[in-house]
Amino acid sequence: MKKYNTALLGATGAVGQEFLKLIEERDFPFDNLKLLASKRSAGTKITVKGKEYVVEEATEDSFKDVKIALFAGGSASKTFAEPAVKAGAVVIDNSSTFRMDPEVPLVVPEVNPEAIAKHKGIIANPNCSTIIMVMALKPLHDVKKIKRVVVSTYQAVSGGGKEAMAELEQQVDDIVNGRPVKAEILPGASLAKHYQIAFNLIPQIDVFKENLYTKEEMKMIDETRKIMSAPDMRITATTVRVPVYRSHAESVNVEFEGEVTEEAAKKAFAAFPGLVVNDNPDEMEYPMPLFTSGKDDVEVGRIRKDYSVDHGLNFWLCGDQIRKGAALNALQIAEYMIKNDLLK
């Protein structure tokens, strides 16, 4: 496989660190590797494939001779995407900045790889919860057209960053040892109010929109329609933060235009790349965050008929939102481009 000069923006963050793990695990074919971050993190030393790299402060001039620019997410995408493209790089961006731009492909490689070739310098990585859900919706939609989706998510605190993970750990320790509990991060560090997440659930992820859905919920609705080229698909979502470190879970109800049996759904799921069926009620076996954390595949289980409608199914998903929901999906896009010679 041909090798290309590659840059990673946000190398010291949680998603950036996951990128680096996966680059080693998958033996990603880079030639030269440039690690970029904020001024605060510049100078950090990181070893990749046995070679030590020094993290550089990201500037508009950082992308000279770079062909693949992996952006780990955040506001830096607004600043550096355009300069990277002008320098000749293809940007694969994990932030929400470009996802709904009609000129930017929004891609899950197993679902809509054909969109990759339509890029004009930037390819957007979808929201983590969206990625996990469409991995299961796509094979079902290919069996029988989906009319309506109802999804409730159970999202790990790592989706709120390293600070949210640290706060959950501190809160549990404080409760166990009888100390007062402080809440300063969730549902969002920039929001006016914060709640304890330890031994609690918070039914808000991101800010509320005028329609009373959160921004996270609307991302799932709008992004799913774009990825699946189904602008009229009816979707409703409720997103909830739960006291789990890593790996999101989702309860999904799907209504079809015609009959889809449980057996047909299981067969379609099992044949779909990146999706694993873990569905054995007799043995109490089903997907759980505890066992999907650190894994590449999305697991699906609790597959059963919805008897409240004519053609409906319920199922349960779990997937590591830092891997398949972020870094892995972006890296798979880059691998697809290399394999199919789309980086000329």
Identify residue 287 by its one-letter amino acid code. P
CA distances from 323 to 23, 25, 186, 230 (A): 12, 12, 22, 26
Tokens representing residue 212 in the block = 């009373």
C-beta separation of 164 from 185 below 8 A = yes
- Return the closest-CA partner of residue 140 out of 278, 226, 260: 260
Q: What is the DSSP string of 257-297?
A: SS---HHHHHHHHHHSTTEEE--BGGGTB---HHHHTT-SS
The helix (H) or strand (E) run that includes residue 35 is strand 30-37
Distance CA(98)–CA(277), nearest Å, equals 32
Q: What angle do CA 137, 246, 40 make, to 5 degrees?
A: 115
> Choosing from 119, 141, 248, 318, which is the catalytic residue?
248
**Cα–Cα distance measured from residue 14 to residue 171, given in angstroms and rounded to the nearest whole number:** 21
Catalytic residue chosen out of the listed positions 119, 128, 141, 318: 128
Q: In the structure, how many helices (H) and strands (E) does the chain have?
A: 8, 14
Residue with tokens 């409760």: 175
Active site residue 311: no
- Whether 318 is catalytic is no
- Position 105, amino acid: P
Backbone angles phi, psi at 43, to 5 degrees: 100, -15
282 CB neighbour count, 10 Å cutoff: 5
Across-strand partners of 33? Answer: 6
Distance (Å, rounded) from C-alpha 15 to C-alpha 6?
Answer: 16
Q: What is the DSSP string of 294-329?
A: T-SSEEEEEEEE-TTSSSEEEEEEEE-TTIIIIIHH
> What is the set of active-site residues?
128, 248
